[in-house]
Structure 1
Amino acid sequence: MAGLAWQEQKSVLALCLLQALFFVGLNLVNLFIAPSILGAVEDRVPLEGVLGTIAFFVLALLVLNILKTWVATNTLFGRIAVRLKILAEINKKFARTSYPNTEDPAVLKKRDKAGEAVGGNSQATEAVWDTLAELLQSTAGFVIYLLLLSALDPVLIVITAVTTLAGYFAGKRINGWGWRHREEEAQYIHKLNYVGVKADDRALAKDVRIFGMRGWLEEIHQKYDRLYQDFIGRRERVYLWADVVDVLMTLLRNGAAYAYLLGITLTQGLTAAEFLLYFTAVGGFTAWVTGILSGFTTLYKQSLDISTVREFLELQEPFRFEDGEALEPEADKPYEIELKDVRFRYPGAEADTLKGINLKIRAGEKLAVVGLNGAGKTTLIKLICGFYDPTEGEVLMNGENIKRWNRRDYYRHFSAVFQSFSILAGTLAENIAQTDEGIDPHRLDGCVRKAGLAEKLQALPRGAETHIGKEVYEDGVELSGGEKQRLMLARALYKDAPVIVLDEPTAALDPLAESELYQKYNELTEGRTSVYISHRLASTQFCDRIVYLEDGKIMEEGTHRELLGRNGAYARLFELQSRYYRKGGVPDAETVSP
C-alpha cells in the first residue's frame, strides 16, 4: 500500500505523518494547559502573565486545530484516489482474466472479497491510512509520556502498564466474539441483501406483480431480519462484559495513581499543578499503550483484507496473454479451424461434455452445429472461440495450436453473437461499435443498413446518438426482440472479423423470423468462415455442411439433403419439428428452399 501510494499519490504518506504530528501536538497542549495556568496562579504571577499564558495556549490550540482539520480534509482526496486505483485494477483484472475464471466459484469468491476491501471509505484499502497515522501518533505519544512519567516511581508505570494490558487483552478476547462468528453474521446479511436486490430487480417486476410475490418476499425479509436482530442482541450482551472489565481496570489504575500521587503530595510537597500534570499523564499513557495495541490489531485485520486484493490481482491465468505470440487478424486471409481428438469436462463434473470430437471447419465454409439441448453445442462453440481449452486434444487455427498465441489476439479473429448478448446503456452507435471513441460514421451507417435497422434508425429521436434502454438515461428507448437481433448483426458486421459465430442468438424469435435473420447473416457473411448453432434444423439449410451433435459426440454430418437422405437422427428430428410447425399453422419447414 505504501508503494502504491508513493507511485500514485505521494501526498498520502506525507499527510499521514502530519496528521500524527498535529494530533500529538494537540494532546501535549491539552496536557500542559491546565497545569501551566494553575502553576502560574500558585506562583502568584501577575494577571498579565496569566492572561498571556492563556492566550498562548488558546493560539496554539487554534493553529493546531486548523492544521489538523486541513490535513484531515485534504488527505481524503489522495486516499480515495489510491482506493479507486485499486478498484480499477480489480475491475480490469476481472474484465481481462481468462474466461474459465469468470465461472470458477473460488475465483468469484476472491473477487467478492477483494471488492469488499475497496467498497467504501471505511474499508481496509482506505482506512489503513488512518490506522498508520494512529500508530505513529500512539508511538510518539507513548515515548513522550514515558519520559515524563520516568521522574516518578517506576512502580506506578508498571501498575499503569499491567492494568492497561489486562483490560486490553480481556476486551479483545470478548470483543473478538463478533470476529469468531463473522460467518454467521455474513450469512444473515447475504440473505437480506439477496432478497432486497431481487425485490428491487426491474427484470423481475412483472413476476412480482402477476404472481403476488410481494407478501412472500416481505415475509422472507422479515424472517432473516429477526434472525439478524437476534444475532446482534447476543453479540451486544457479550460486548457488555468488555465494558465491565474496562471499568474495573480503569478504577484500579486511576485509584493506584491517585493514591500514589496523593502520598507524594503529602510527603514531598508536590504542587497542585504537578499533581494534575502527572495524574493526567497517567491517563494519557494508558491511552497511548492501548492505541498501539489496538493499532497493530487493526492493522493485522486490514492487512488480511488487503491480502485478498493482492491474491485476486495476482491470480494465475490458465491462458497466455502478453506472454503469448502476437496474432494480427487479416481480413483477406483464409482461416481454417480444427478440433483434434477433443474431450472437454467442466470442473467438478463426473462426465465429459464433449467426447472425442474431430472436426475441421474449412476456410470460407458455412458450418451449422445442431442438436438437442444439452448435446454440447455451446461448449463446442466456446472451444472454437478460445473461451475454454480442451481437457484432452487440441484446437488449431491454420494448423497451429491456439495455446501459443496471445489469447486476446485470437479473440480479435471472431465476430460472435451469443444467446445472452450485451446491450449497454449507451448510444446505438456505441453499442454497435463497442467503443465511445473513433466511431466511423460511414462504416456504422453501412452496417446499420445491411442489418435492416435503417428504418428504425431514422425513427429514433437522435439517430445513432439515441440512448438504448431506460436504466440510466431518461431519454433511452427500448428495442424489440427482433431489433436487438439486428443490432447484434450490425455489431458483428462492424467488427469485420474473419470468422463469424452465431450461438443460437435467435432462440427467442419465432421460426420464420429466425429463418429470415439467418438468411440475412448468410448473405452478409459470404466468403467468411462461419459457424451457426440452432436447435431449429430448418434455419440452417443454407449452410455448406451440418454437424449433428448428440451426447457430446458428432453423430452425423453432411448437407441438409444428405442428412435427410440417410433417414437418421437428424432426419427424424427434422420431421418431428416440421410436423409441430405444420400443426401450429406455420408453413411446412420442408418447403423452405434448401
Structure 2
Amino acid sequence: MKEKNFVYKFLNNFKWLLRMAKKQRRLLTIYLPISVCLGVVTNFLGISFPSIIIFLLDRTVTLNNDFVIILSLSFILGVFLWISGWLVTKVFWESIKVRMTLQVLDGKGFINLPYFKLINVDTQKERAQSAAYGYENDNSGVGLFVPAMVLLCQNVLMLVIAGGVSAIVAWWSPIIVAITCIISFKILSYFSSQRLRIQKDLGKVYLEQNYLYRKSFDTSAGQEIRTYFLEIKFGLKIKQCRDEITVIKKKLALNSFKAKTLIVLVNFCRSIPIYLVLAQKVFHGEMSVVEFSFLFSLLGMLDVYIKEGSNNLEEFLNANNDISKSRVYLDAIERMITLDEHADNQGLPESISPDHLEIQLKNIFVKYPDQEKFILRDINLRIKPGEHIALVGLNGAGKTTLVLTIMGIIEPYSGEILVNGIPLSKSWVRSYQRLFAPAFQENVLWADTLEKNIVISESINKQKLMKIAEQVTLNKTISKLPQGMQTYLTRYIHDNGLIPSGGELQKIILGRALYRDSPFIILDEPTAALDSLTESLLYQQMENLFKGKTSLFISHRLASTKFADNIILLKDGQIEAYGSHKALLSESAEYRKIFNVQKQLYESEITNE
C-alpha cells in the first residue's frame, strides 16, 4: 500500500480515472479535447466580436448588410457558447457518474473486507478520508479533477495565444507577458497556501461551534444541561467561538486584499508599456483602430486568464492530491475485490451435504492483526449434525469471536476448520457461509417493510412467512398494525415508520433467521430483550423451531442452557468446560457457581413479574 502522503502524477491519475470510468471512458476522451478547443474558440470569438463590429461600421456598406452580418455573427457566437456550455455540463455529469462508480466500489469493497480489517479504526478512518477527499462531493477529488483540468487548459491556451499575439505590438511584449504571468501565479499561489492554512484554523473553530450547537439542541442532553446549569458554559463557549471566527475571517479578508493589491501592481507594470506602444502606433498610423480594439481587448483579458488559470491550477493540483489520498484506500479495495472474484467462484465440494453438516475446529488460535494477545486459544471443537449447542461465558470471553470463526467470517491466525472433514477454503467460503442463518445481538433493521425485513429476498412465500411470525409470537403485533406486514420500519425514509420495541426487534431478527431456512441457526443473545414469560415460551418451542437443524445460541442466562444438547463454557478465550447441563453442574465448579448466582436472580425476576 502506498504511503498516505504519496501523490500520483496527474497523468497517472487521469489514466486511472479513465480506467475506472468504464462506460464514460470514450465519452470523456472525446469530450475533453473538444471542450477545451471549443472553449478557446468561443473565448477568441468573444474578444474579436467588438473589433469585427468596428470593422464593419468602418466599411462603406449599407447599414442593412452590416446588420445582417452582425446578427449572423451573434447567432454563430451564441451557438458556440451554447455548445461549449453543453460540453462543460456533459463533462461535469460524466465526472459525477465516475464519482458514483467509485462510491459503489467503496461500498462493495468495505462490505467484503476481512472482518478484523472491517472493524479496525485505522481502516474506517482511511475509508472516511478516501470518501471525503475523493468522491463524496463535487467540490474535491474526482468531482473537481476533470472540470478543473478543462478550464485550466482553456486559460493556459488563451494565455499562450495572447502572449504570442502581443508580439504584434513589440518584440519584447511576449517576454513581459510571460514574466508578469509567472509573478502573478507565484503571488496567487503564495496567498492561496496562506488562505488554506487560515481556512483550516477556521474549520476547527466551526467544528467546535457546530458540536456545541448540536449538543444544545440535543433533547437527550437536555436534563444534564439543566441539572448542571451547563447553559452558561455553553453560551460562553459559543461566544468564544464566534469571536475566534470573526478574527479568522478578518485574516482571510486581509489575505484577499493583499493578493489583489499585488496583482493590480503587476498588471499595471505589464499593461502600461504595452498600452503606451499600442497608443503610439495608432497615433502614428502604424495600426488601424480595428487592430487596436482587438489587441486592447485581448491583452485586457490577460488579468482574467491569469486569475482564473491560477484558481484552476490550484483546484486541479488539490484535486490531484485528493485523488492520490483517496487511492491509498481504493486501490487496495480494488485489488481485494479482484482477488475475491477470482477466488470465490466455486460452490461447496460435492462431499459436503447441507443436510448432514459436521464442523470441526482444530487447534484454533485467533488474534487481532496488530495485537499480541490471542482472543481465542487452542480451540478444539466438533459440532455434529442436528446438535443444539449453548455457548456461555462472561463478557469478553470470546463468544462472538468463536461464532464468527465457525462461520468463516474471521480467518484464524493458526489451526484449521474442517467441514465434513474437508479444510475450509477461500474458494468456497461464501457458499459455506450461506449454510448459516444468524441472528446477531447487534440487530440491523432496514428502512423497508416488516415483510422485507424478515424475508430479505425477492421471492416471498406468504404462508411460510405467517407461520414463522406465529412461531416467534410476532403475529399479535402484526394484527394490531393497519398495514400488517407492509408496515414500514424505522423513520429514516418514512415519517410514519414503526420503531419496534426491543422485544419486537428480537422477534423480527429471529424470524429472519428462521425464514432463511439454513441448516445451521446461530442466535446471539436471542432473549436479551424479552420478558421471562416470553423467553420461557420461546425456549419451549426451540425443539420444534430447530427440528432437523444444527443450532448454536449465545446466552448470558444459563437457565437457557437446559434446552441444549451440549454447552460450551468459554473463559479467557479457551474452552473451560464442555458437556450437557447436568454434566457441567456436577463436574464444573465454574459453571455451577455462575448458574447458582443467576438462578437466584432469575427466580427473583419471575416472582416480581
Q: Which TM-score applies when normalising by structure 1?
A: 0.87
Counterpart-to-counterpart distance in 1, 2:249 and 2:413: 48
1:426-445, aligned counterparts within 5 Å? Answer: 426-435=448-457, 437-445=458-466
| 1:4 Cα deviation from its structure 2 partner | 4.2
Counterpart-to-counterpart distance in 2, 1:442 and 1:127: 53
In structure 2, relative to structure 1, the CA distance for the partners of 1:20 and 1:211 (3 Å cut) is same
In structure 2, relative to structure 1, the CA distance for the partners of 1:576 and 1:220 (3 Å cut) is farther
1:54 and 2:74 are equivalent in the alignment: no
In structure 2, relative to structure 1, the CA distance for the partners of 1:126 and 1:41 (3 Å cut) is same
1:192-207, aligned counterparts within 5 Å? Answer: 205=219, 207=220
Counterpart-to-counterpart distance in 2, 1:82 and 1:190: 30
Q: Which residue of structure 1 aligns with residue 221 of structure 2?
A: 208
1:126 and 2:164 are equivalent in the alignment: no
In structure 2, relative to structure 1, the CA distance for the partners of 1:453 and 1:390 (3 Å cut) is same
Counterpart-to-counterpart distance in 1, 2:484 and 2:167: 80
Question: Identity percentage over the alignment?
Answer: 27
Q: Which residue of structure 2 aligns with residue 34 of structure 1?
A: 50
1:396 and 2:418 are equivalent in the alignment: yes
Contact map agreement 2:215 2:221 (CA 8 A) in 1: no
Counterpart-to-counterpart distance in 2, 1:339 and 1:219: 60
| 1:554 Cα deviation from its structure 2 partner | 1.7
| 1:210 Cα deviation from its structure 2 partner | 4.1
- Provide the aligned C-alpha RMSD in A: 3.3
Which shows bigger deviation, 108-117 or 331-340?
331-340
1:2-21, aligned counterparts within 5 Å? Answer: 2-5=18-21, 7-8=23-24, 10-21=26-37
Letter in structure 2 aligned against 1:159: I
Counterpart-to-counterpart distance in 2, 1:295 and 1:338: 62
Contact map agreement 1:363 1:529 (CA 8 A) in 2: yes
Letter in structure 1 aligned against 2:445: I
1:443-458, aligned counterparts within 5 Å? Answer: 443-458=464-479
Q: Which residue of structure 2 aligns with residue 158 of structure 1?
A: 175
1:256-295, aligned counterparts within 5 Å? Answer: 256-267=273-284, 269-285=286-302, 287-288=304-305, 294-295=311-312
| 1:226 Cα deviation from its structure 2 partner | 5.3
| 1:315 Cα deviation from its structure 2 partner | 1.9
Q: Which residue of structure 2 aligns with residue 471 of structure 1?
A: 492
> Deviation string for 1:16-53 (max 9, x for gaps)?
44443443233222222222333445556554455455
1:93 and 2:114 are equivalent in the alignment: no
In structure 2, relative to structure 1, the CA distance for the partners of 1:41 and 1:63 (3 Å cut) is same
Contact map agreement 1:37 1:53 (CA 8 A) in 2: no
Contact map agreement 2:439 2:523 (CA 8 A) in 1: yes
**Partner secondary structure for residue 523 of structure 1:** helix
Counterpart-to-counterpart distance in 2, 1:571 and 1:547: 13
1:132-143, aligned counterparts within 5 Å? Answer: 132-143=149-160
1:385 and 2:407 are equivalent in the alignment: yes
Q: Which residue of structure 2 aligns with residue 415 of structure 1?
A: 437
Which shows bigger deviation, 146-155 or 549-558?
146-155
Letter in structure 2 aligned against 1:91: G
Q: Which residue of structure 1 aligns with residue 12 of structure 2?
A: none
Q: Which residue of structure 2 aligns with residue 556 of structure 1?
A: 577
Which shows bigger deviation, 22-31 or 327-336?
327-336
Letter in structure 2 aligned against 1:112: A
**Partner secondary structure for residue 300 of structure 1:** helix
Contact map agreement 2:52 2:290 (CA 8 A) in 1: yes
Counterpart-to-counterpart distance in 1, 2:160 and 2:492: 57
Contact map agreement 2:344 2:430 (CA 8 A) in 1: no
Q: Which residue of structure 1 aligns with residue 551 of structure 2?
A: 530
Structure 1 counterpart of 2:389, from 362, 367, 373: 367
Counterpart-to-counterpart distance in 1, 2:204 and 2:548: 55
1:546 and 2:567 are equivalent in the alignment: yes
Structure 2 counterpart of 1:481, from 494, 499, 502: 502
Q: Which residue of structure 2 aligns with residue 337 of structure 1?
A: 359
Structure 2 counterpart of 1:321, from 337, 340, 343: 340
Contact map agreement 1:581 1:587 (CA 8 A) in 2: no
In structure 2, relative to structure 1, the CA distance for the partners of 1:191 and 1:348 (3 Å cut) is farther
| 1:423 Cα deviation from its structure 2 partner | 0.9
In structure 2, relative to structure 1, the CA distance for the partners of 1:128 and 1:56 (3 Å cut) is same
Q: Which residue of structure 2 aligns with residue 173 of structure 1?
A: 190
Contact map agreement 1:164 1:290 (CA 8 A) in 2: no
Q: Which residue of structure 2 aligns with residue 591 of structure 1?
A: none
Counterpart-to-counterpart distance in 1, 2:210 and 2:110: 23
Letter in structure 1 aligned against 2:560: S
In structure 2, relative to structure 1, the CA distance for the partners of 1:353 and 1:98 (3 Å cut) is closer
Counterpart-to-counterpart distance in 2, 1:533 and 1:38: 88
Q: Which TM-score applies when normalising by structure 2?
A: 0.85
In structure 2, relative to structure 1, the CA distance for the partners of 1:165 and 1:424 (3 Å cut) is same
Q: Which residue of structure 2 aligns with residue 568 of structure 1?
A: 589
1:581 and 2:602 are equivalent in the alignment: yes
Letter in structure 1 aligned against 2:80: L
**Partner secondary structure for residue 573 of structure 1:** helix
In structure 2, relative to structure 1, the CA distance for the partners of 1:508 and 1:127 (3 Å cut) is same
Contact map agreement 2:198 2:252 (CA 8 A) in 1: no
**Partner secondary structure for residue 353 of structure 1:** strand
**Partner secondary structure for residue 530 of structure 1:** strand
Counterpart-to-counterpart distance in 2, 1:222 and 1:361: 63
| 1:198 Cα deviation from its structure 2 partner | 6.7
**Which stretches in structure 1 are left out of the alignment for 5+ residues?**
589-594
| 1:13 Cα deviation from its structure 2 partner | 4.7
1:71-86, aligned counterparts within 5 Å? Answer: 71-72=87-88, 77-86=93-102
Counterpart-to-counterpart distance in 1, 2:315 and 2:181: 17
Contact map agreement 1:377 1:549 (CA 8 A) in 2: yes
Letter in structure 2 aligned against 1:468: L
Structure 1 counterpart of 2:40, from 7, 24, 29: 24
Which shows bigger deviation, 456-465 or 562-571?
456-465
| 1:217 Cα deviation from its structure 2 partner | 6.8
Which shows bigger deviation, 158-167 or 72-81?
72-81
Which shows bigger deviation, 270-279 or 72-81?
72-81
Contact map agreement 2:385 2:550 (CA 8 A) in 1: yes
Letter in structure 1 aligned against 2:391: V
Structure 2 counterpart of 1:65, from 81, 101, 124: 81
In structure 2, relative to structure 1, the CA distance for the partners of 1:420 and 1:175 (3 Å cut) is same
Count of aligned pairs between the two proteins: 583
Counterpart-to-counterpart distance in 1, 2:428 and 2:249: 51
Counterpart-to-counterpart distance in 2, 1:187 and 1:386: 43
| 1:495 Cα deviation from its structure 2 partner | 0.9
Counterpart-to-counterpart distance in 1, 2:589 and 2:270: 92
Contact map agreement 2:91 2:146 (CA 8 A) in 1: no
| 1:511 Cα deviation from its structure 2 partner | 4.3
**Partner secondary structure for residue 469 of structure 1:** coil
Contact map agreement 2:407 2:436 (CA 8 A) in 1: yes
In structure 2, relative to structure 1, the CA distance for the partners of 1:219 and 1:479 (3 Å cut) is farther
| 1:326 Cα deviation from its structure 2 partner | 2.1
Q: Which residue of structure 1 aligns with residue 264 of structure 2?
A: 247
> Deviation string for 1:338-370 (max 9, x for gaps)?
222222222444522222222222222211111
| 1:59 Cα deviation from its structure 2 partner | 2.7
> Deviation string for 1:207-255 (max 9, x for gaps)?
2344447947777666656555544443443343222221211111111
**Partner secondary structure for residue 154 of structure 1:** coil
1:149 and 2:170 are equivalent in the alignment: no
> Deviation string for 1:151-190 (max 9, x for gaps)?
3323111101101110111210221124456765554555
Counterpart-to-counterpart distance in 2, 1:469 and 1:439: 21
Which shows bigger deviation, 94-103 or 207-216?
207-216
**Partner secondary structure for residue 120 of structure 1:** coil
In structure 2, relative to structure 1, the CA distance for the partners of 1:403 and 1:348 (3 Å cut) is same
1:105 and 2:121 are equivalent in the alignment: yes
Which shows bigger deviation, 410-419 or 91-100?
91-100
Contact map agreement 2:366 2:414 (CA 8 A) in 1: yes
Counterpart-to-counterpart distance in 1, 2:239 and 2:357: 59
Counterpart-to-counterpart distance in 2, 1:30 and 1:296: 23
